[in-house]
Structure 1
Amino acid sequence: MNSPSFARYRAEWFSGVGAARRDVLAGLVGTFALIPEVIAFSFVAGVDPQVGLFASFVIGIVIAFAGGRPAMISGAAGSVALVVGTLVHAHGLQYLLAASVLGGLLQVVFGLLKLDVLLRFVSRSVRTGFVNALAIMIFSAQVPQMLGVTWHTYAMIAGGLAIIYLAPRVTKAVPSPLICIVVLTAISMAFPMPLHVVSDLGKLPSSLPSFAIPGVPFSWETLQIVAPYSLAIAAVGLLESMMTASVVDELTETTSSKARECTGLGLANIAAGLFGGIAGCGMIGQTVGNVRYGGRGRLSTLAAGVFLLVVLVPLRPWVAQVPVAALVAIMVMVSVSTFSWGSLRDLGRHPKVSGAVMLATVAVTVATHDLAAGVVVGVLLSGVFFAFKVTRMMDVAASYDAASDTRIYTVSGQIFFASADIFADRFDLSDTARHIHIDLTQAHFWDITAVGALEDVVAKLRRHGATVELVGMNEASAILVDRHAPQVLGGPAAA
């Protein structure tokens, strides 16, 4: 019980009275920030708003205990809602719940196999593009609430932003977004005016969720229906959660267990499906807001989830009166603080390919409203640019020693699937020299494609009657070549 891991877990829950108070207050702000987006995402998925609210409540509680990234808020997210909308429209809510449970099981397996290492293939440029795209999407999600409204709404939004940015100069004991909510709600109730309030966004739950097995036939046909959506839920949810966790790591200058976050998210989504909720994942906007206003521990994650229904159910009449303008002001602040403004300056300082990857990630994400699509495009572009870069760094220089009638090829750089053909083309197979000397001291062979290229070159040169000698091959390359093409090293003419 006194192991370092247990001590760390305990510290993630409680590191002092002051930290606990900040976590609770930041979580409360996160609760109000969750409400409008969760309701909006529920409409995207084609389900009743309480389905999204139930999910966020359950996910918040479970992942607070089982997740690997303290201070990260998870709930019903738009990325998941986008991939399940057709399932709901075609087969109904119960199939969505079944897909959520199966998607959670896949995420648990993903975490247990520690496949979170795949995140290492996501470059810094992709992560920056991901964050910037989310900031743009967070802001654009507020635009509908600012169209077709009276001047009162704009005045309240402006007043809310003023409170958010000026209140910290007076006191930091209470997060300024919470002050914004209380003050604007009091003003709207004291001076009635034409404003949209939370109750206008959709039906608020009047009770806590209850446990129930999804009402679908347990058959092969059902599995065929839900499996593709479950796989999409698992992939998109993990991708967004891993990216969100990385953002929190940078903001707090701490580390987290990504494998545990995968498993925790899976358990949370299983629970969400069994309690009548849609699957979810990490929510970047609410998480950044939570961290910006003092949330650091697991208590802030728990508070955001618990308050969501504990506040909504008994205090429903009062919560329903919170003006949407207050929530819009908070989300505009989150959008501004989330965007990496330094990345605009870096466009002129960093390599052009890095800027291109970042901009492509932003463009695809914003255009498709699909976080997974943007990140996949960014990762693919990063891989292509990297391959071209490494290919240009590979070189084969040739020289000739007339005294011994020897052609010397000096190879340098990395030989792998993208550079193997270029490597092979650098050898003159019609060379009449009796001896071929290939110096591999500065080269490295990475895969069987590279080994195959070397095997073809050596075999063709030997067929032309030349004696081929390989020198300087490093141990790792030699093991790979010996395993897949032993005749290259051990052939009778290899000497």
Structure 2
Amino acid sequence: MFSSTLSALADRISVPARRRSGPMTFTFGRTKTELLAGLTVALALVPEAVAFALVAGVAPLVGLYAAFIVGLITALIGGRPGMISGATGALAVVMVGLVALHGVEYLFATVVLMGILQILAGVFRLGKFIRLVPHPVMLGFVNGLAIVIGLAQLTQFQTSPAPATDHPGPFNMLNGTWMETPQLLVMLALVFLTMFLIWVTPKITKIIPAPLAGIGIVAAIVIGFGIDVPNVGDMSSIKGGLPTFHLPMVPINLETLEIIVPYAIILAAIGLIESLLTLNLVGEIKEERGGASQECVAQGVANTVTGFFGGMGGCAMIGQSMINMKSGGRTRLSGISASLFLLAFILFASPVIEVIPLAALVGVMFMVVIGTFAWQSLTIMTRIPKLDAAVIILVTVVTVWHDLAVAVVVGVIVSALAYAWNASRRIDAHTTVTDDTKVYKLEGPLFFGSAEGFSELFTIADDPDTVIVDFAHSRVVDQSALQAIEALAAKYVAAGKQLQLRHLTHDCHQLLNKAGQLIVDSDDDPDYELAVDYNVRLGRLGSGH
């Protein structure tokens, strides 16, 4: 049910999804689509990168360089072709404290260390643990991030931002100075016109991506009629040169490490969580799986490099990734071209890009919000377990009010505790008595939550002299389970009765101490392992390794 909710997003994407069964053929039409999708993404990246740089307290070019470098490297070697990465608000809000206290050079050093940590996460294949994120958490992440993207666009309707505060909430930005009514109405009209053009263009033609058509037509109207509305150039000039290699100018000592390590760990975690969740979301659209560890390495390499070239670092961007998907981008070419177009804007085309009205880009982002929000999650609330519905709402609220990383961690913890509580009540045993032997056939997981219930299943005083505990339909999960088995064995031995343990896994054979001699080996003893490791080994065998 949850998978279908996420997959419903794919139904709103105009270009059909393809499976990972083979490489995509680059015809002239496909190449044109990828390049136009990249151009559309690049246009949307400019105001986002500038805005996030200003949030972090650094120069706009620091954000633009990060968008170019991170976007290019992840497009080349990332785990999911078609994903877009760059400077993001989730990272910027963490960076602002570091920059304010210690300066931008410490930020560059932190980004380098952040990248190294992400590379290590990929090398040790920690990305596979993203599968532990339940679907309700994923839905909450999608909905919360859509709301955050939408709220971020409201600042474009203001002439001055909200005053700084020690405890900025998500709606603090509403306290800025809003445009005068006439200009605000014109701005809103242009936003809605852009949204209408994006909606209607695919019904007329698919030659040009709908977001690009919306931006182009609205820009032409504004320039042609001389309409006075804010444009990209009003935020900041984007003109600059090529990024140059730059060693962070910070002292190399323990004091520096004490400053940058906490920030690097937080940034690495947030960047990987947002990137891997975006990887899953894009995978739903493209019907692809895997690539988590590769994406970790790609994000790490990208951030390490950008730290040495004066960039603020970044991660995957769900908004720009959805723009790319909606525009038809499905391969690495769209992400590569987006980064190269962005560099061209910085080097040569800044006068052209700076006259694009912000209203057109806001309209594009509002369409992203509509396309990203999992609307079906609202209709299934009454048909799913109440706890799952609560997790969706909880993760959505925490994402909006705090940040993505905390929201995902909270969602996973609540879901895990709920699962543990439910699973603890599923331990049961079916008993059969033949002659002087009683067999307990266990069902359900045996772990810390069900260990007490497991002990209560046995009537030691009333049992015959020979007792068999069959674990064929149970799973011994943790040390608490092993301890419960040891304690049960000790009770039967003290009662002078013979206990046999059957169908335990081989790792349990090794871990059990006191009850180890009671195990009866069988040819069909179960052997469990993590599915991702099993699949990787099968892939190696299939490749001849």
- Match among 29, 41, 52 for residue 41 of structure 1: 52
Q: Counterpart of 1:198?
A: 232
* Aligned position for 1:307: 341
Q: How does 1:46-445 map to 2 (within 5 A)?
A: 46-147=57-158, 148-149=178-179, 150=183, 151-368=185-402, 370-396=403-429, 409-427=440-458, 431=461, 435=465, 437-441=467-471, 442-445=473-476
* 1:459 partnered with 2:486: no
CA contact (8 A) 1:312 1:319 kept: no
1:256 and 1:480, CA in 2 relative to 1: closer, same or farther beyond 3 A?
closer
Counterpart amino acid of 1:180?
Answer: G
Matched-pair contact (CA < 8 Å) for 2:38–2:329: yes
Against the structure 1 CA distance between its residues 396 and 71, is the aligned structure 2 distance closer, same or farther, given a 3 Å change threshold? same
The one-letter code sitting in structure 2 at the alignment partner of 1:467 is: K
User: 1:444/1:169 Cα in 2 relative to 1: closer, same or farther (>3 Å)?
Assistant: closer
Q: In the alignment, what sits opposite 1:469?
A: 499
The 3-state SS of whatever aligns with 1:327 is helix
Equivalent position of 1:485 in the other structure: 512
Report the AA paired with residue 294 of structure 2. R
**What value does the CA root-mean-square deviation take over the aligned residues?**
2.4
| Displacement after TM superposition at 1:222 (Å) | 1.3
- For structure 1, which segment, 194-203 or 316-325, has the greater mean C-alpha deviation from structure 2 after superposition? 194-203
Q: TM-score, normalised by structure 1?
A: 0.90
**Which whole-Å deviations, capped at 9, do the CAs of 1:216-236 have from their partners, x for residues lacking one?**
112222122111111112111
Q: Work out the CA distance in 2 between the residues paired with 1:275 and 1:444.
A: 51
Question: Partners in 2 of 1:111 and 1:101 — Cα distance?
Answer: 16
Amino acid at match of 2:411: G
Displacement of 1:455 in angstroms is: 0.8
By how many angstroms is 1:134 displaced?
1.3
Code of the residue aligned with 2:189 in structure 1: it is: A
Name stretches of at least 5 consecutive residues in structure 1 with no aligned partner: 1-7
Aligned mates of 1:241, 1:54 — CA distance in 2: 19
Structure 1 residue 434: deviation in Å? 6.1
CA shift at 1:400, angstroms?
8.4
Aligned residue identity for 1:309? L
Q: Aligned AA for 1:255?
A: R
Code of the aligned partner of 1:437: V
CA contact (8 A) 1:84 1:96 kept: yes
CA drift at 1:100: 0.5
- For residue 427 of structure 1, report the CA deviation from its aligned partner: 3.9
2:481 aligned to which of 410, 426, 450: 450
Cα pair 2:72 2:339 within 8 Å, conserved: yes
Partner of 1:4 in structure 2?
none
Deviation at 1:20, TM superposition (A): 1.1
Task: Report if aligned partners of 1:25, 1:175 keep a CA contact under 8 Å in 2.
Answer: yes
Aligned length, in residue pairs: 476
| Counterparts of 2:425 and 2:228, CA distance in 1 | 64
Deviations 1:186-225, CA, capped at 9 Å, x for gaps: 2222223331111122342322221111111122221221
Return 5+ residue gaps in structure 2 as ranges.
1-19, 159-177, 520-545
In terms of mean alpha carbon deviation, does 279-288 or 132-141 score higher?
Answer: 132-141
User: How far 1:290 moved relative to its partner?
Assistant: 0.4
Match of 2:37 in 1: 26
Whether the 8 Å contact between 1:22 and 1:294 is mirrored in structure 2 is yes
CA distance in 1, matches of 2:399, 2:392: 11
Query: Counterpart of 1:424 in structure 2: which amino acid?
Result: S
The amino acid of 2:493's aligned partner reads: R
* 1:197–1:457 CA distance, 2 compared to 1 (3 A): same
Would the alpha carbon gap of residues 228 and 426 (structure 1) be closer, same or farther in structure 2, given more than 3 Å must change?
same
Distance, in Å, in 1 between the alignment partners of 2:99 and 2:498 is 66
Q: CA deviation at 1:409?
A: 4.8
Q: Which amino acid aligns with 1:341?
A: W
Query: TM-score, normalised to structure 2's length?
Result: 0.82
Give me the whole-angstrom Cα distance separating, in 1, the residues matched to 2:469 and 2:198: 66
Distance 1:491 1:474 in 2: 12
* Secondary structure in 1 matching 2:58: coil
Percent of pairs with identical residues: 37
Amino acid at match of 1:384: L
The offset of 1:256, in angstroms, is: 4.8
Which secondary structure state, in structure 2, belongs to the residue aligned with residue 294 of structure 1? coil
Q: What is the CA-CA distance between 1:433 and the residue it aligns to?
A: 5.3
In structure 2, C-alpha distance between the alignment counterparts of 1:298 and 1:398, rounded to whole Å: 59
Q: Which moved more, 1:19-28 or 1:33-42?
A: 33-42
* One-letter identity of the residue aligned with 1:79: A
Q: Which amino acid in structure 2 is aligned with residue 219 of structure 1?
A: N
Letter matched to residue 230 of structure 2: H
Going from structure 1 to structure 2, the CA distance change for 1:10 and 1:60 (only over 3 Å counts) comes to farther
Contact 2:241/2:346 (8 A) holds in 1: no
Alpha-carbon distance in structure 2 between the residues aligned to 1:10 and 1:233: 35
Q: Which amino acid aligns with 2:479?
A: I
Evaluate the alpha carbon distance shift between residue 271 and residue 10 of structure 1 in structure 2; reply closer, same or farther with a 3 A threshold: farther
How far residue 65 of structure 1 moved from its aligned partner, in angstroms, is: 1.6
More off after superposition, 191-200 vs 372-381? 191-200
| Whole-angstrom CA distance in 2 between matches of 1:414 and 1:425 | 15
Deviates more, 1:289-298 or 1:253-262: 253-262
Could you tell me how far apart the structure 2 residues matched to 1:94 and 1:10 are? 44
C-alpha displacement of 1:342 = 1.6
